[in-house]
A = this chain, B = another copy of it.
Amino acid sequence: MKIALAQLNYHIGDFAGNTEKIIRTIRQSAQSGAELVVFAELAMTGYPPRDFLEFDDFITKTEEAIHTIAAGCNGIAAIIGAPSRNLTGKGKPLFNTAWFLNDGKVQNLTHKSLLPNYDVFDEYRYFEPSADFGVIHLHGKKLAITICEDIWNINEIPMYDRIPLDEIIRESPDLIINIAASPFHYNQGLIRRQVLRENALKYKLPVVYVNHVGAQTELIFDGASMVCDDGGNIRKSLKIFDEELCLVDIDDSFYGAKPADEIVVPETVSDISLVHDALVTGIRDYFGKMGFSKAILGLSGGIDSAVTMALAAKALGPENVRGILLPSEFSSDHSIGDARRLALNLGCPHDLISIREAYSALEHSLDPFFSGLPFGLAEENLQARVRAVLLMAMSNKFGYILLNTSNKSEAAVGYGTLYGDMCGGLSVLGDVYKTDVYKLAAYINRENEVIPVNTIVKPPSAELRPGQKDSDSLPEYELLDRLLYQYIEKRRGPRELEEMGFDPALVSRVLRMVNSNEWKRYQTPPILRVSPKAFGMGRRMPIVGKYLG
């Protein structure tokens, strides 16, 4: 059977745009000889449509779009993900459905059974899990249609109380099709291959897997759709971070294959180039889907703003990324020099606005209250906030989106000024630990010196008071990041961390910093997610919680 895999970039709620793209793709698939074209989970609406699903009008528009598309399915069948109404009179009002379109109409609906409701996923908020299982017939073949999570319940301790393919397999399908909305994190590609391999081997069937590509605010979809044979050997891999329409003929060679080798998934970032490309995709699609083309950011001469600018220049074109140097009396000469050199290396426009005058005026206005009191945190924050006000003024005046440059280590421990350097429309590095920011810098510099070496080798500093260094207030990043990873990604509590060998005083200090800064992170811009546990929608912590606080 000739199947076209349609790996596309949708825009949430853009029914006109998504419909046009889907119809065009069906036509192309038919022309190339495909008998079936497969689109991703909730392709019709984009993923995740979130609470738009609670609007009856939104569902009506979905149905109208699906029926328009179905009318064009002649000589070719299509599988498209979209919500559908639950008409059983029991449970949640919707199903998460694979619509099977053929002969100009909707022929069949297969509903998702396993609804992820953890991390960034809220599917049980909207959808009723299906308990009906069966195959779809097409040209004498039986297709086992599954939706993303439906094939993920293969662990020793299952997350759900059923395994859909254990039911469907009774009807002896010829092929597993899985339509997915599986967002990127640095190891997700390997985990997906592992899942496909295990399903292929368990059920002795080939698997056709179609994912989304492109970013929807914080969630980045890498695509990487694929087809494996019944031994779990990957026979076709689609592009990473790019659209592709790919025709695969599932012939006899996909059956009776020898078992593929097991896949080893490392613990942390195995390939920094994937993180790089994910962040570029995240920036590009955020701007594109918000209808903006130009970014602005503050350049400190430090590594976070340098890496952010390089990524943005890649995503938007260097001419569309404007750097503003905002020195204060505490800025060192190398900060200005390094920042300028970066902008010149990248070919980005850049300007300098001193914050001294505005800072002095604000200090003077506060004099009746602050006079006689020592310089402290309030004054440090004041500098960061003057910078933000100037950047936002430029943003408002000329239509830039301000990029936030905070990294995950800072965001974790609250080392940043709310309404100051924590500002921005999008946080580019908020899911990248400081030690990984260095890896990104090295990757960006892999061919030539884009980021000035001095930016990379000098000790990190916020430069908000004379001679300040990050290491005055924080543990060394190498140690801090290892501890944060265990606490945030692995959810290990204080006793476990001490058992792992971390110093109890350090554990207590760092965990207190993380938990007591929840109020600050609450007001952070959306963070491009590249790890299995990012701050934001996937990590939901109480603000007034006292545990470890």
Expressed in whole angstroms, the Cα–Cα distance for A57 and B494 within the complex equals: 7
| Cβ-neighbour of A544 out of B12, B360, B396 (below 8 A) | B12
Interface contact B376-A397, CB-CB below 8 Å: yes
Expressed in whole angstroms, the Cα–Cα distance for A366 and B326 within the complex equals: 12
Chain A 395-429: CB-based contact to B (< 8 A → 1; otherwise 0) = 01110000000000000000000110001010000
Chain A 303-326: CB-based contact to B (< 8 A → 1; otherwise 0) = 000000000000000000000000
Residue of B nearest to A493 (CB): B57
List which A482-504 residues lie within 8 A (CB) of chain B: 491-496
| Cβ-neighbour of A369 out of B13, B357, B397, B537 (below 8 A) | B397
Interface contact A90-B419, CB-CB below 8 Å: no
Interface contact A542-B159, CB-CB below 8 Å: no
CB neighbours (8 Å) of A290 from chain B are 519, 543-544
- Asked whether A388 and B419 contact (CB < 8 A) given A355-B365, A546-B13, the answer is yes
- Asked whether A364 and B357 contact (CB < 8 A) given A124-B117, A419-B419, the answer is yes
CB neighbours (8 Å) of A285 from chain B are 544
- Asked whether A491 and B546 contact (CB < 8 A) given A392-B385, A397-B369, the answer is no
| Cβ-neighbour of A49 out of B370, B491, B545, B548 (below 8 A) | B545
- Measured CB to CB, the closest approach of chain B to A116, in angstroms, equals 10
- Measured CB to CB, the closest approach of chain B to A422, in angstroms, equals 9
Interface contact A381-B357, CB-CB below 8 Å: no
Expressed in whole angstroms, the Cα–Cα distance for A57 and B358 within the complex equals: 48
Expressed in whole angstroms, the Cα–Cα distance for A388 and B417 within the complex equals: 13
A522 proximal to B (CB < 8 A): yes
Residue of B nearest to A418 (CB): B392
Interface contact B362-A360, CB-CB below 8 Å: no
Interface contact A56-B496, CB-CB below 8 Å: yes
A24 proximal to B (CB < 8 A): no
A438 proximal to B (CB < 8 A): no
CB neighbours (8 Å) of A56 from chain B are 491-493, 496
CB neighbours (8 Å) of A369 from chain B are 351, 394, 397-398
| Cβ-neighbour of A157 out of B60, B89, B493, B496 (below 8 A) | B89
Interface contact B90-A161, CB-CB below 8 Å: yes
- Asked whether A159 and B286 contact (CB < 8 A) given A382-B389, A544-B217, the answer is no
Interface contact B378-A91, CB-CB below 8 Å: no
Chain A 505-549: CB-based contact to B (< 8 A → 1; otherwise 0) = 000000000000001001111100000000001011111111111
| Cβ-neighbour of A543 out of B91, B92, B217, B493 (below 8 A) | B217
Interface contact A354-B361, CB-CB below 8 Å: no
- Measured CB to CB, the closest approach of chain B to A509, in angstroms, equals 17
| Cβ-neighbour of A160 out of B91, B398, B541 (below 8 A) | B91
A456 proximal to B (CB < 8 A): no
Interface contact B377-A396, CB-CB below 8 Å: yes
A467 proximal to B (CB < 8 A): no
A434 proximal to B (CB < 8 A): no
Residue of B nearest to A218 (CB): B543
CB neighbours (8 Å) of A525 from chain B are 522-523
Interface contact B419-A390, CB-CB below 8 Å: no
Q: Which of A117, A373, A394 has the most CB of B within 10 A?
A: A117
List which A312-351 residues lie within 8 A (CB) of chain B: 351
List which A43-99 residues lie within 8 A (CB) of chain B: 46, 48-52, 54-58, 60-61, 89-92
Interface contact A392-B397, CB-CB below 8 Å: no
A17 proximal to B (CB < 8 A): yes
- Asked whether A541 and B50 contact (CB < 8 A) given A378-B397, A493-B56, A494-B57, the answer is yes
Interface contact B52-A545, CB-CB below 8 Å: yes
What are 25 A-B contacts defined by CB distance under 8 Å? Answer: A12-B547, A46-B542, A50-B542, A51-B539, A54-B491, A55-B491, A55-B492, A55-B493, A57-B493, A58-B493, A117-B125, A122-B540, A217-B543, A217-B544, A290-B544, A355-B365, A361-B362, A362-B389, A369-B397, A370-B393, A370-B397, A373-B397, A376-B397, A378-B397, A386-B389
Q: List chain A positions with a Cβ less than 8 A from chain B.
A: 11-15, 17, 46, 48-52, 54-58, 60-61, 89-92, 117-118, 122, 124-125, 157-161, 216-217, 285-286, 289-290, 351, 353-355, 357-358, 360-362, 364-366, 368-370, 373, 376-378, 381-382, 385-386, 388-390, 392-394, 396-398, 418-419, 423, 425, 491-496, 519, 522-526, 537, 539-549
Additional A-B contacts beyond A46-B545, A52-B545 (11; CB < 8 A): A12-B544, A13-B542, A13-B545, A57-B492, A90-B160, A117-B125, A118-B125, A217-B544, A357-B365, A378-B393, A392-B419
